[in-house]
Amino acid sequence: MIESNLNKFQVPASFPLERVGERIFVIGIGLIGGSMVLDIKSLRPEATIFGIDSNESHLDEAIALGVIDAGSTFDDLANADFVIVSVPVDAALTVLPKVLDAIGDQTIVFEVGSTKIPICEAVSNHPRRRNFIATHPIAGTEFSGPSAAITGLFQGKTNIICEVERTSFKLQEKALDLFKQMGMRIRYMDPKSHDKHIAYVSHLSHISAFMLGKTVIEKEKHEQDIFDMAGSGFESTVRLAKSSPAMWTPIFKQNRKQVVKTLEEYISNLTQFKDLLVNEDYDAIFEEMESVNRIKEILNGMSPSTLKAEAVNK
Amino acid sequence: MIESNLNKFQVPASFPLERVGERIFVIGIGLIGGSMVLDIKSLRPEATIFGIDSNESHLDEAIALGVIDAGSTFDDLANADFVIVSVPVDAALTVLPKVLDAIGDQTIVFEVGSTKIPICEAVSNHPRRRNFIATHPIAGTEFSGPSAAITGLFQGKTNIICEVERTSFKLQEKALDLFKQMGMRIRYMDPKSHDKHIAYVSHLSHISAFMLGKTVIEKEKHEQDIFDMAGSGFESTVRLAKSSPAMWTPIFKQNRKQVVKTLEEYISNLTQFKDLLVNEDYDAIFEEMESVNRIKEILNGMSPSTLKAEAVNK
């Protein structure tokens, strides 16, 4: 899918190819890729941003929005300084080896998807593996496409880097300089740990929100008024159900085993809560909720000692 | 619980009781009651706000924060223009009849809790039933206590009113004028429909978030690093797990049957999604998510015709 139109876009003859700055290529110009190059454009004004996208209208839109400077093709990757691969994770499996085939010796390629084992495996034996760095910037919104790109999306966010030892030192440095300039903090992790943990803190949240939306929509079929009653709490909990199925289906596919495991645990916890309610064990219900309340402090990243002091003062 | 300290607070001798404005009493000075009187103070500067709270430190805090003008007792309710009862819904069952016993003929009392059948039943045969209006302003945050009170919380929000015909016409008007001044839109509903629908759009979201938090925290016991990986998506989905167990346990208790039903439907949808994943039916997974995507438009309150136009332009 991603490849069908890859060769349709040529740099316009009038385009100043002789610019002095870095040549940044973004393949797949949506929320993440688009936001990355918006940041790069503002941080490194000399850089030229080239876009490659299987969706012709995305390219036009990205140019019109000023997200990229020009459309491009795989043939131009030999001159790239950076290649950002930000396509759905299933497409990444075929796009990445093609990118590595096409780049130059000094090009650093990074991919930004939400699964890491399949991505790392797909390029594990590629002769240019050392030109690749596997990343997962934990940032995003529920929107997609070029118009979803925003500046500053990565400020203060975590970027998980996997198998860093398999990237050449010089190119690691080049990528890390950019990530740090964007304001990201770096965490190193092996792909297996990444995929396991991200199932809990990201993939499960999406399914939780999608199925909450489904449960309420099913009800609403017969009761049109119900959404007049929905407040900001529902909106917040269901927000991720606006996410793109084209992006999320391959993520669930690639991380199937872990996601199934987290779902089993989630369903088991929900069932247990339901049983407490059926049995009218309100003390246990209170305690369940109270013990989860500490998510406040966890999300605030507070240390246990700070928490204790806070609790006393409340 | 709510009653233990009710008589501890007296209006200070120096307090200007002869003020010309309305006398507003708020019983239970937390997020909802506190935010209401903050709005009233700014909309009706002549009004005097009296607070009654079983928690002595809440009263002190509310005075210090400027949320109320003075502490008060049930003995003063005879002179009240408005009494806002904003205590947990279990406490409301005993507080409300006591309030109705104490008020004057022209006092309008409203209660703001998240369940309506038990509340309406608790005062159904009270001789002053016509001084009471059952409401549920669909507004809030995950915070609680006087410091959670904020101005403008109700602007643009829905206020569900139940059994409106059981409130005297003149006092209905008095309450509605206030609600409209606060920027709320009014929806009338019978208590049974309210409790049924609110289970879907509010109570279920809270359990969904609490159990998501639990599932992730259980994991985190052994993996301290996991929360470095949590992004804004997780934070949004789990936000309601910060809510007060003291407020939510009695809500779940009073709306037990409906909440159990929504939980059963939610668990069934999650299980079905899990099975699709186990069976690797990715087309069905895509379709599931795509069909829930219309939550976007539902939340935006768009009409079907607007949606169609939007979809074409995307």
| Beta-carbon separation of B216 and A206 below 8 A | no
- CA distances for B46 relative to A240, B17, B24, angstroms: 45, 12, 11
Nearest to B212 among A140, A241, A266 (CB): A266
The pLDDT score that the predictor gives to residue B1 is 38
How many Å lie between the alpha carbon of B124 and the closest alpha carbon of chain A? Answer: 24
Whether B57 and chain A come into contact, CB under 8 Å, resolves to no
User: Is A303 within the bounds of a domain?
Assistant: no
| Beta-carbon separation of A210 and B260 below 8 A | no
If contacts are CB pairs under 8 Å, which of residues 84-113 in chain B contact chain A?
none
The pLDDT score that the predictor gives to residue B232 is 86
User: Is A119 within the bounds of a domain?
Assistant: yes
Pick from B131, B156, B189: which residue ends a domain?
A: B189
| Beta-carbon separation of B263 and A273 below 8 A | yes
Residue the block writes with tokens 């975590």: A158
User: Is B8 within the bounds of a domain?
Assistant: no
How many Å lie between the alpha carbon of B60 and the closest alpha carbon of chain A? Answer: 13
How many Å lie between the alpha carbon of A213 and the closest alpha carbon of chain B? Answer: 6
Q: Residue A193: closest CA among chain B residues belongs to which residue?
A: B226
Q: Are residues B127 and B85 in the same domain?
A: yes
- Could you read off the pLDDT of B246-272 as tens digits, one per residue? 999 999 999 999 999 999 999 999 999
If contacts are CB pairs under 8 Å, which of residues 246-285 in chain A contact chain B?
246, 248-250, 252-253, 256, 259-260, 262-267, 269-271, 273-274, 277-278, 280, 282, 285
| Spatial separation of the C-alpha atoms in residues A85 and A150, rounded to whole Å | 17
Q: Are residues A39 and A176 in the same domain?
A: yes
Q: Residue B147: closest CA among chain A residues belongs to which residue?
A: A314
The pLDDT score that the predictor gives to residue B299 is 79
Q: Are residues B156 and B81 in the same domain?
A: yes
Q: Residue A255: closest CA among chain B residues belongs to which residue?
A: B277
Whether B73 and chain A come into contact, CB under 8 Å, resolves to no
- Number of CB pairs < 8 Å for A and B? 293
| Spatial separation of the C-alpha atoms in residues A175 and A83, rounded to whole Å | 10
Q: How far is CA B197 from the centre of its chain?
A: 14
| Beta-carbon separation of A187 and B225 below 8 A | yes
Q: Are residues B207 and B237 in the same domain?
A: yes
- CA distances for B134 relative to A62, B8, B76, angstroms: 52, 28, 22
Q: Are residues A142 and A230 in the same domain?
A: no
CA angle A271–B225–A294, rounded 5-degree value = 50
Q: Are residues A170 and A228 in the same domain?
A: no
How many Å lie between the alpha carbon of A41 and the closest alpha carbon of chain B? Answer: 24
Q: In chain B, which residues have their Cβ closer than 8 Å to the Cβ of A204?
A: 212, 215-216
**What CATH number should be reported for the domain holding residue B138?**
3.40.50.720
- CA distances for A267 relative to A32, A270, B41, B268, angstroms: 31, 5, 46, 9
* pLDDT tens, N- to C-terminus, chain A (314 residues): 344 444 444 555 455 555 569 999 999 999 999 999 999 999 999 999 999 999 999 999 999 999 999 999 999 999 999 999 999 999 999 999 999 999 999 999 999 999 999 999 999 999 999 999 999 999 988 888 999 999 999 999 999 999 999 999 999 999 999 999 999 999 999 999 999 999 999 999 999 999 999 999 998 776 666 777 888 889 999 999 999 999 999 999 999 999 999 999 999 999 999 999 999 999 999 999 999 998 888 877 633 333 333 333 33
Nearest to A267 among B230, B235, B270 (CB): B270
**What CATH number should be reported for the domain holding residue A249?**
1.10.3660.10
- CA distances for B245 relative to A293, A298, B62, B248, angstroms: 8, 18, 21, 5
User: Is A18 within the bounds of a domain?
Assistant: no
User: Is A10 within the bounds of a domain?
Assistant: no
| Beta-carbon separation of A270 and B260 below 8 A | no
Sign of CA dihedral A39, A44, A45, A49: negative
User: Is A17 within the bounds of a domain?
Assistant: no
User: Is B125 within the bounds of a domain?
Assistant: yes
ipTM confidence score: 0.86
If contacts are CB pairs under 8 Å, which of residues 176-235 in chain A contact chain B?
187, 189, 194, 197-198, 200-202, 204-220, 223, 225-235
Q: Are residues A44 and A156 in the same domain?
A: yes
Taking each helix axis from N to C end, the angle separating A204-220 and B204-220, rounded to the nearest 10 degrees, works out to 170
Q: Are residues A164 and A265 in the same domain?
A: no
Pick from A162, A189, A216: which residue ends a domain?
A: A189
What's the structural domain count of chain A?
2
Q: Are residues A112 and A233 in the same domain?
A: no
Q: Are residues A34 and A181 in the same domain?
A: yes
How many Å lie between the alpha carbon of A95 and the closest alpha carbon of chain B? Answer: 21
CA angle B187–B264–A296, rounded 5-degree value = 75
Q: Are residues A42 and A93 in the same domain?
A: yes
- Could you read off the pLDDT of A38-51 as tens digits, one per residue? 999 999 999 999 99
User: Is B294 within the bounds of a domain?
Assistant: no
Pick from A189, A210, A237: which residue ends a domain?
A: A189
The pLDDT score that the predictor gives to residue B98 is 98
Q: In chain A, which residues have their Cβ closer than 8 Å to the Cβ of B234?
A: 201-202, 205
How many Å lie between the alpha carbon of B76 and the closest alpha carbon of chain A? Answer: 29
Q: For chain A, give me the number of helices (H) and strands (E)?
A: 13, 8
| Beta-carbon separation of B215 and A200 below 8 A | yes
Q: Residue B281: closest CA among chain A residues belongs to which residue?
A: A253
Q: Are residues A47 and A130 in the same domain?
A: yes
| Beta-carbon separation of B274 and A262 below 8 A | no
| Beta-carbon separation of B158 and A229 below 8 A | yes
Domain of A230 in residue numbering reads as 194-280
- Tell me which DSSP letter residue A142 carries: S
